[in-house]
Amino acid sequence: MNHVLITGGASGIGAGTAQLLASTGSRVSVLDRTSPEGIDWWNELAPESRGHWATVDASDTTALVAAVAEIAADELTGLVACAGVSVKESFMDSGVDTWSTTLAVNVLATALTCQTAARAMIDGGRGGAIVTVASTVAFGHVAGLGAHYHASKGAIVAMTRALAGELGMHGIRVNAVAPGLVRTPMTEFMRQTQGEEGLTLRVPLRTMADPSDIADAIAFLLSADASMITGHILPVDAGQLSVAGMPLDGFPDLLVERH
């Protein structure tokens, strides 16, 4: 049985991915700042599908590395690095705290998680698969999301490709998904202020993705069906990247949410 760790797995894309993987025969472990009490889908998993749950804030690097190492030692075969933060603040208004928070969670925590999981995979001689979560903002400006968020997701793209090159010799594949607009808690305020019709007006498929749509792509990249795919960034964006930039206005000055 595959054992997959999902960071940021309590809700949104992470939760959708964990549920899908569990339903298709994997044992799933979750690392999230939220405790498992009250997470219905987790508590309803079959015992053989439920691995470990670590309640850790991804910005606490010492606790993060320790928790990932403990979980990864249990014959980890896959990692989904989904934990992330979005601080809605313009470049000219952003300060050190905004940049530090965003880069600490989105970049440093992802790097340390991948490093710790990969070390266990190498030591165990199993190889494995890693999927990071980038964003379409890595490839173009989306108004309102801030330069700090764009920079962090651009770093994920570059990191993913670099890790694919370095870890391939150990039988570890590393890919990323780049979601567009997704119905998650992170985009709730956007949907409330602009409506889905307004948000998707310039998206070719005229729709937002559900977390399950992103989970499907992640599950594919983790699977044996993708055994020859590494270093790839897979957009799951209803065609967003095929058109010009999308002006998304109406963001509050500062709102921190995590997916």
Token match 């799951």: residue?
A: 236
Complete edge-to-edge strand list for the sheet that includes strand 27-32? 50-55, 27-32, 3-7, 78-81, 128-133, 172-179, 233-236
As given in the structure block, the two tokens for residue 32 are 């999230």
**Catalytic site residue from 35, 135, 152, 212:** 135
Confidence of residue 43 (pLDDT cuts 50, 70, 90): very high
What's the rounded mean pLDDT across residues 43-60?
97
Question: What is the model's pTM?
Answer: 0.91
Cα dihedral sign, 245-252-179-158: positive
Average confidence score pLDDT of the chain: 91
How much is the pLDDT for 256? 45
How much is the pLDDT for 244? 57
pLDDT in tens, 207-232: 889 999 999 999 999 999 999 999 99
How much is the pLDDT for 119? 98
How much is the pLDDT for 121? 98
Mark whether 149 is an active-site residue: yes
**Catalytic site residue from 26, 29, 49, 153:** 153
How much is the pLDDT for 142? 78
In the chain, domain spans = 3-182+211-239
pLDDT in tens, 90-122: 899 999 999 999 999 999 999 999 999 999 999
Confidence of residue 249 (pLDDT cuts 50, 70, 90): very low
| Residue 221 phi, psi (nearest 5) | -65, -25
Burial class from Cβ neighbours inside 10 Å (0-12, 13-18, 19+) for residue 101 reads: middle
Rounded Cα distance, 7 and 114, in Å: 11
How much is the pLDDT for 254? 37
pLDDT higher than threshold 80 for residue 235: yes
pLDDT higher than threshold 50 for residue 42: yes
Cα 158 to chain centroid distance, Å, stands at: 15
Ranges 75-89, 181-195, 208-222: which has the least confidence: 181-195
User: Exposed e or buried b for every residue in 206-231, given b needs 16+ CB within 10 A?
Assistant: ebbbebebbbbbbbebbbeebeeebb
**Catalytic site residue from 26, 29, 149, 152:** 149
How much is the pLDDT for 97? 96
Q: Which fold has domain 3-182+211-239?
A: Rossmann fold (3.40.50)
Confidence of residue 198 (pLDDT cuts 50, 70, 90): confident
Mark whether 135 is an active-site residue: yes
Helix (H, G, I), strand (E, B) or coil at 182: strand
Helix (H, G, I), strand (E, B) or coil at 158: helix
pLDDT higher than threshold 60 for residue 200: yes
